[in-house]
Every structure is written in structure tokens, then in C-alpha cells.
Amino acid sequence: MIRQYELIDKIQGYNPKADVALINRAYVYSMKAHGNQRRASGQPYLIHPLEVADILADLHMDDATIAAGLLHDTLEDTLSTAEEIRKLFGDDVAELTEGVTKLSKVTFGDKSVEQAENFRKLLLAMSQDIRVLMIKLADRVHNMRTIEHKKAESQRRTAKETLDIFAPLADRIGLHVVKAELEDRAFKVLQPDDYAMVEERMQEWRAQDSLVDKVVALLKDELKQAKIDGEVSGREKAIYSIYRKMVRKSLAFDQLTDIIAYRVVVAGKRECYEVLGMLHDRFKAIPGRFKDYISAPKPNGYQSLHTAVVGPFGNRMEVQIRTREMHDIAENGVAAHWLYKPDPGIDSKKEEKKDPSLNPYRWLKGLVEQLQGVDDPTEFYENAKLELFNDNVFAFTPKGDLIQLPRGATPLDFAYAVHSNVGHKTVSAKVNGSVVPLRRVLNNGDMVEIITANNQQPNPGWRDMVVSSRARGAINRFLRQQEEVEQRRMGRDILEKAARRDGWGWSEKDIQKVLAAFPASQEIRDVDTVFLALGQGRLFPRQVHEALYPGEALQPAKEKKDKPAKGKKDAATPQDGDKTAGNMGLDGMVAGMAVHFAKCCSPLPQEDIVGIISTGRGVSVHMRTCRNLEQFADQPDRWLPVAWNAAALAGEMKIYECRIRVHARNVDGAISSITTAVAADEANILDIATEHRTSDSLTLRLEMQVRTKEHLNRLIQHLSANKHVLSVEKIYGWT
């Protein structure tokens, strides 16, 4: 355990002008406030805030942050008040302490909506002051260091939250040391056997291999001969990082060639490129492994040259080349940024207002502003994860402007990054002068030209062609607006037909007068939302009649037999194999009701659906975009609002049938590779048939069971990447 005077010595070591009195007051206040409280380990509670402050001091944080670290649990766990903290320690410390207290109440459980909403709160707190997250991360590091004192289930829950949320956030703001420790400690809890295996192999490797010292000595000699002043070191990769690479690339430990990352730290940028040239001249460069993060820094401010070469002993070497300042930022991320460095001669916040580019973490506020229009917490969470936890690629406009995109981005992502209107009107794209499909993945350095047309507009398929939150959000907003326009039109038609059928009248003015009569749960605000609710199946014409003519019984026209329109099969007629709603993953129906999924559209979890009632024969579930629903437009009382339940949306069931058509090359092993790919994606093939075959190609029809729409899309994507496959499509209208 660190002692108070040791903490002060450490802080003064990097900040001789530190406000020691402030930190001492915070220590004494925390000691008195926590009193005789003890942690689960039985140790005095004061040890925890002291260790958090020590971690923050290791990151060279400012006085206010360290003081807030000492106080971070006082508002939640003691009788202290925010007013008292503000009076004794000032606004800066008080705001940081309150921010961390609010984050302490944020948990990330298994409930997706609640987790997403908490993630939104976390990002908002971060965007106000990144130091709040720094204290929270230091708090999490110490909690993970002492996690063995928790119950087993609590350990696993905390470790999973650490691996899923806090380690990636630490990485995203450049705290790579913190990220590595959090990952390793969480990995040890979640997969103790795998952790022990990698750790044991690392110990054996350290005992046997003297290669690192040899390489470091040789690189130092090369720098000396080139008259370049620099430091050379070799650092082991973290245990979790090694394990993840073994799994991702299906490698045994002995097959790994980059357990060590070599680092060269020099005086300036010019020397960085000189060292790079020296390495490539002296050793054989490995193609495709060079990255220049100096000319194109990462969003968190990280700068370095990365290269890989075949070393002097036949070993593959990963080498990172950077300046001392770049090294500080690479190690400590936001903690190394001048914005939070104590400098009485500079008002950093005023400087940032004059020139926002001085703060490399402005991306965070931009991200939050960009996501403010997303009402659905789950969509916010998914979009934010795309931006926070993905690597980046950098592409150029024809004029040379740099566009930063998430890894895996396509020309369509690029178009939306330029402007939403450009994205909406995109018809094709050129990459490096050649026309390419809009789903083509971009590489670093690509020059992208977007071709637009005024009559173009997004379609639902575009959502599967983009990875950036900006593009996905813009497409979703456009499609929702278009869908709501169509739903309002459909709702008006349904009401008009029902009124004509049953002999009653209405006007928009009449409906306006009785809005309050509709159920509050329907979110009825005006006449348009009445039509929208009717079109979405949340409201029925009889409810409108009851609101307009209270107490007056509806006199329906003479009942018609449930016959389909001439020449059409009633898509609502259940087929063989009907099941009940309870085991089909649906909410919104009476228990035990017979249900089947219409084969005209093969709805899957994550797609919008509606149920059509067939009297005495159960319910047929359709996609809301299914054309066969037109035949029921004048029978609104047969429409039943249904929804996928949590188990279906989570992909826990595997009973939803669909068909796909695969066009492939007619070569040996083609069919085998296709069925193997389907099995690898955990889809169950029910039937397979050859629709067409020539000497060059063949067309297969696969009937299968999948879990969700996302599952099917992923399967189609993987099949499309198969070297034997020409194209893949979902089949609609099968019987």
C-alpha cells in the first residue's frame, strides 16, 4: 500500500509545482469520511482511494484529478455532500467527484436496453470532462487488482464488464498500459485455464530465449553507426493480446513470431523517418505491414511509425518508431495531453476555444453530438461501439482531403462522411480511378470519387453495406421517415375503408377534437399520429369509432367468409407444422394460439412484423413490407400487433426457416465448400436442390433454419466471400 508522503513524492517528481496542500486536505478528508469502513478484503477502506490516487499519479495526472481520486467514493459511501466538497476543494474537484459518483451508479448488465442507456450516460459524462473517465478507469484497475475478495459470480460479472466496456475505452483514449492490465486481469477471471496456459508458455519462453537482448543490442549499434541518438527497447505483448492472436489466426504458441514489439524512441520526426529508412535498408521489409500514424494520427492522438522486417537472426520483428512526446501520448493517452497539464501561464480551455484542433479528444464531443438524434438507446449503443472500438482507415477525396472512417468502411460510408445528402444520392463510386461496387471495403490511402444522381435515394439494403455510425444513422433516419410516410398513408386508407364498410363517417377535424380519448400508450399527439398508429397496427378503426361516437355500437356490414381475392392464395392460412406463439419467440398473442411464419416473405427476428388472424385457424406472421398484406387492407380487425421477444432477438432460438439461392462456379468441391460454410455459421440446412447447371456454373436452392436476420445476413456475406460463389440472394414467395 502506498503511503501519503510517498504519493506526494511521486507527484512532485513529475510536477514540482503541485498543490500539495490540496492533495493533503483531500487525503485527510477522505480518511475522516470513510472512518472505520472496511473493504471486502477486511482492509481499511482508505487504502482504495489512496491506490486510485497512486494509479492516477503514475499517469501523471493533474492535482484536481488526484484530489478527486482520493474523494471519489465519499459522496456515495459516506455522509459527505456535494456542497461540502465544493466549499472545501473548489468547483473543479467537486465536479470531477460528482461525475465519478454518477458513473459509479452506472452498471452494464445483460438487459440490452438498460445497458445501452447506461453506456449513453457514460459517454455523456466523458464528453463533459475526460478526467472523469480517467478516475473511473483507475478505480476499475484497483478493483480488478483486488477482485479475488469478491464472490465468484460477482467476479465474473465485473470481469466481463471490464473486458467489454472499460478495457476498450482505455484503449480508445490511448491508455494502452491500463487497457493491457484490465484485459489480462479480466481474462484471468473469465478463462483461468487459458490464462494459465499462456502464462506458463511465456515463462518457458523467457527462460530459453535471449533473442531480445541480442536484437536490442544490434539495433542500438545500427543507430550509433547512423549517428542517430535514440533509445531501443523490447516489450512483451500482454497475455490476453497473445491469446487473442492465437485464437484469431488459429496459431499455436510456438508459431507466434511477434511476442516482442521493439520500440525506437528518437528526438524528432525527421529522425523517425531516418530510422525507418535505415531499417528497410538493413533488413527485408515484410509487405503490407507498414503504417504511418505520424502523418495520419489515430483519433486519440496516437502517433508512431509501424513496420515489420525479417530480423538479423531470421526472426520477424515488429518495430515502432516515435519521438519522446509521441511515446508519452502512446503510453498515457489523454493523460499526456497538455490540456490537463498544470501550467499557470496558459489558460488551456481558452486556448482550446481559439483552436479546437489543440484538443485531440474533440472526437468524443463530436461523437456524442452526432448520436444525440438517436432515440433508441440500443441503436445508440451499437453505433457508439462502431465508432469507439474499431480501428480506422484513411481515404482521400479527389481534391486530397483526408476522410477518416472505421475499419471495414465502404465507398457508401465515405459518401456519408462527406455529407448526408451526398450519401443519399450516391449511385456509384470510383476507387483509385476504377469503378467499384458500393460494398467494396476501402484500404488506407484509397482515393475515392463519389458519383451521385438527384433521383437516387437510400434503400434498406444499404444498411448492410455500411459500418460507420454516421452512415447507418443517416440511412435509418431516412428510411424511418419514408416508412412513416407510407404507414400514415396506409393508416388513412385503412380508416377510410373501414368507415365505408361499416357505414360511419369521420373528418380530420372531428378526430382532432377527440385525441384525448385514445389510449395514452399509443402516443397519439395529432391526426398524423392517429394515421401512423393505424398503419403500424397499434390502433384499430373500431377505437377511432368509439372515440368519435362514444356509446354507439358499431354495426358491421354482413360478414364475409374468409376467402382470398380471386387468383390469390390466402397467405394467412396456416400450413403444416403450425406451432404456438410461446415456442416461436413472439410477444403480443394469446398463449396457445396457433401461429406460423408466412412463406411469402419468411420473416426473421429483427425484421418488423405483423400478424394476420384467420378465424379459427390461428395467426400468420408477415414482414410489414410483404406485398400479400394488401389483400387484408380492408380487413383491419384481422391485423394483430406482434413483436419478437427477447429470446428471439438475442438469437437464442434456431427455428426460423428461409431459403437462399446461390449462384456458383461448377467446379469440383464447390457444393462441399458452400455447405461447409453454412455449417460453420451454425445454420441448419433442411434441404438443398440444384435449380440449374451448365458446364461453367450452377444454381443451388438451400432451405435452412437461422436465428435472426443478422444471422442470415452474416451467412450471406460469408458465402459471398467464398471463392466458388458468384452471388447469393434470399428467396421470397416460396411454398
Residues designated catalytic? 76-77
Rounded Cα gap, residues 105 and 483, in angstroms: 38
Q: Look up residue 661 and give its three cell numbers.
A: 439461392
Q: How far is CA 504 from CA 29, 494, 542, 546, in A?
A: 75, 13, 11, 11
Secondary structure element (H or E) that encloses residue 55, with its range: helix 47-58
Nearest in space to 619 (alpha carbons), one of 598, 635, 649? 598
Angle at 734 between CA 730 and CA 735, to 5 degrees: 155
Show the 3-state SS of 694-714: CCCEEEEEEEEEECCHHHHHH
Residue 584: name the closest of 648, 526, 637 by CA.
Answer: 648
The b-or-e profile of 104-113 (16+ CB within 10 A means b, else e) is: eebebeeeee
**Rounded (5°) CA angle 40-42-47:** 90
User: From CA 303, how far away is CA 317, in angstroms rounded?
Assistant: 19
Total Cβ atoms within 10 A of residue 142: 19
E runs forming strands in 174-311: 230-236, 260-266, 284-285, 291-292, 305-310
- Dig out the grid coordinates for 515 from the structure: 385525441
Residue 607 backbone phi and psi in degrees, to 5: -100, 145
Residue 513: burial class (beta carbons within 10 Å; 0-12, 13-18, 19+)? exposed
Rounded to a whole number, what is the distance in angstroms from the first to the last CA of the chain? 71
Closest to 47 (Cα-Cα) out of 7, 11, 85, 2? 2
DSSP 71-115: HTTHHHHSS--HHHHHHHH-HHHHHHHHHHHHHHT----S-HHHH
Measured between alpha carbons, how far is 255 from 249 in angstroms, rounded to an integer? 10
Q: Which of 598, 591, 495, 600 is nearest to 537 (CA)?
A: 495
User: Which helix (H) or strand (E) element contains residue 691?
Assistant: strand 684-693
Residues in CB range of 60: below 8 A, 6 or more apart = 14, 15, 332, 335, 336
Sign of the C-alpha dihedral computed for residues 377, 140, 105 and 100 taken in this order = negative
Count of residues in the chain: 735
